[in-house]
Amino acid sequence: MSKILAIDYGTKKVGVAISDESRKIAFSLKTVLNSQIFPFLSELMSQETISTIVIGNPVKLNSNENKLSNDVNIFINKLNQKFSEIEILKFDERFTSVIAKKTILESGISKMKRRNKILVDKISATIILQDYISSLK
């Protein structure tokens, strides 16, 4: 079975997570500089069978789009052009960064490592993916 990829898009850094083949568990993969995301994804697609990419949809509490929404839509259009054979979906990402920070805090990671935004981005992508997988059941 193919895997699902999740992306927590940011204008500077992009968090990436991937599912197992049974599509039950999300794994943190990497945080990539925005400028390097397409080479990274191309390489990843050559190594993994991925049928779906889930992009965190940044919306406000009232479900309206926020200031990052337009950037995400442009990114999705580029993904559709580059990976036209892959299903690309938006998925609500409200509170994922807050949950990621709380998860990191509760994990016992040192204070210096907790300040590392790279860790937050890839954990946020993992949370988006796990929430998406759970919604499929």
CATH number at residue 27: 3.30.420.140
Residue 47, domain extent: 3-135
pTM for the model stands at 0.82
Distance CA 47, CA 119 (A): 23
Q: What does the alpha-carbon distance between residue 114 and residue 105 come to, in Å, rounded to a whole number?
A: 7
* pLDDT tens, residue by residue, 20-46: 999 999 999 999 999 999 999 999 999
Choose among 39, 41, 31, 40: nearest CA to 9.
31
Please give the Cα distance from 92 to 58 (Å, whole number).
7
Q: Residues 55-110: pLDDT tens digits? A: 998 765 566 666 778 899 999 999 999 999 999 999 887 656 655 556 655 655 55
Q: Which carries the bigger pLDDT value, residue 111 or residue 119?
A: 119
Domain count, the chain: 1
> What mean pLDDT is predicted for residues 118-124?
78
Considering only CA atoms, which of 5, 8, 4 is closest in space to residue 124? 8
Q: In what order do the strands lie in the sheet with 13-19?
A: 26-33, 13-19, 3-8, 50-57, 87-92
**Is residue 115 scored above 90 in pLDDT?**
no
